[in-house]
Structure 1
Amino acid sequence: MSPGSDSRPRPASQAEHAFDLLERQLVTLELAPGSVVSEGYLIERLGMGRTPVREAIQRLAQQDLIRVMPRKGLLIVPIERTELLQILEVRKGLERLVVRLAALNARDDQRSRLSKIARTLATSHEDFETFLKLDRETDRRLDECAGNRFAAAAVAPLRTHCRRFWYASRHRLRLADAIAAHSAMIRLIARRDSVGAQKASDTVIALNERLAAEIE
């Protein structure tokens, strides 16, 4: 077999897959906030090699979702009110930038996809798992429309922190309000209304802030 025909997965793609799996388990609290686990436990849990899992852990540590404690293990970072409010403070400005750029730069086909997401959200019957899936898809589409990879890289970990918080607070979250706020923002972006979209983005962040303020 020639070098060019080697179909084995490359280490980078394996590391990305490990990252996606761990991020999902952090968001859904399968890896519980405040718990301490070992690298070996995560390797066994994912059924993957040490190198891609270690790379994924390093990325998540940079995003402050996991903290490496030498000779003790890996701390799954707790959800704390003060830190979450600080995250939202930073995210607010970044999201305003992303939605403004998305409204200004999106192509017609991208606007059509956003409109479809908004319609799907509106008919999701307040199903939390569907909402979470569509929220992640929305973020990916907005980043594509905005076309600023630096903004996308900066806001991505903040969104993950917020999704994990939503999952932890899903029984207190007024899902109908969240769906309405997200749908309104997406529709405004699709209509090229950058000013309205920024205001709608602020509304989404405000929902998070009110929920975070209730953490003891």
Structure 2
Amino acid sequence: MLQGKAAQAYDQIERLIVLEEIAPGSLVSEAVLMERTGLGRTPVREALQQLARNRMVEIHPNKGVLVPPTSLEAQLRMLELRRELEALSVRLACDRATAAERDRMRTMIDLLDTGDFTLRSYLDSVTEVHHVLVASSHNEYVEDAMAPLQGLSRRFWHAHVRDVDAEVHRGARLHAAILRAVVDDDPDASSAASRALNDYLVEFSLATIRSGSRATRVSAPIS
């Protein structure tokens, strides 16, 4: 698990990738990433090594860092694993979340219920939801395993979302349901809500075949 500036670099570079500020299929240098993050070579390099292990980038010595395109087949295989691990994670969170973590979850529920999102602010909120739920499991092995699965999932969703209004509202409701179940100390409800989210992500992924991978995105702010 990365700490300090390396963790900051990881979060910032992952966000650049998820939001496609670094385009899929492009090569970037460490120097560019240092400039974009405002961090030094060592934390950026440590972050890239972790991102490579998490399948977010490919490191090509003497050439640069490649951001591979998303893949439907890889997404579906990844969701098979996420389905089981996330259900375990939220069940653990029901038992182990601290009072402070539950307060943070209540704040996130209120935010998700407002529905007042842009695409970027929604993804930032979902990232925070993922972080608090996984951290609340208080199991570093679960945390290490879940981070790449959730990051890859967010990246695929952002790359292929078209009807932003409908998808964000649906996703917000599903994430809020998981948080509510954890706050209520209901492990069965939390795992059921987690599986409902996973079912949606599978459905969304399969729909990209019908809609086409790079159709025009409807991306007006949501209110």
Q: Does the TM-score normalized on the shorter chain lie above 0.5?
A: yes
Q: What is the CA-CA distance between 1:155 and the residue it aligns to?
A: 0.4
Higher alpha-carbon deviation: 34-43 or 82-91:
34-43
| Range that drifts further, 206-215 or 22-31 | 206-215
Q: Which moved more, 1:67-76 or 1:92-101?
A: 67-76
Q: Which residue of 2 aligns with 1:167?
A: 158
| Structure 1 residue 172: Cα displacement | 3.6
TM-score w.r.t. structure 1 length?
0.86
Asked which structure has the greater CA Rg, the reply is 1
- Residue equivalent to 2:172: 179
Map residues 26-175 of structure 1 onto 2, 5 A cutoff: 26-172=17-163, 174-175=167-168
Cα distance between partner residues in 1 of 2:109 and 2:5: 33
Distance 2:161 2:8 in 1: 26
Q: Residues 70-98 of structure 1, C-alpha deviation per residue, up to 9 Å, x if partnerless? A: 44332102100000111111111110011
Q: Distance in 1 between matches of 2:98 and 2:52?
A: 36
CA offsets, 1:19-77, max 9 Å, x none? Answer: 22211101111111121223333334434433222222111111111112244332102
Contact persistence 1:185–1:200 (CA under 8 A): yes
Residue 190 (1) aligns with residue 183 (2): yes
Equivalent residue, structure 2, for 1:215: 208
Q: List gaps (5 residues or longer) in structure 1.
A: 1-11
Q: How many Å separate the matches in 2 of 1:80 and 1:49?
A: 31
Q: Compute the RMSD of aligned alpha carbons.
A: 1.9
Distance across 1 between alignment mates of 2:99 and 2:5: 34
- Give, in whole Å, the separation in 1 of the partners of 2:8 and 2:186: 36
Task: Count how many residue pairs are aligned between Structure 1 and Structure 2.
Answer: 205
Cα distance in 2, alignment partners of residues 142 and 209 from structure 1? 21
SS at match of 1:159: helix
Q: Does 1:17 align with 2:8?
A: yes
Distance in 2 between the 1:107 and 1:36 partners?
42
1:200 aligns with 2:199: no
Aligned match of 1:3 = none
Taking the aligned partners of 1:138 and 1:192, their CA distance within structure 2 comes to: 17
Of 84-93 and 99-108, more deviation after overlay is shown by: 99-108
Counting aligned pairs with the same residue, the percent is: 34
SS in 2 for 1:215: helix
Show structure 1 runs of 4+ deviating over 6 A.
none
Alpha-carbon distance in 2 for matches of 1:182, 1:82: 24
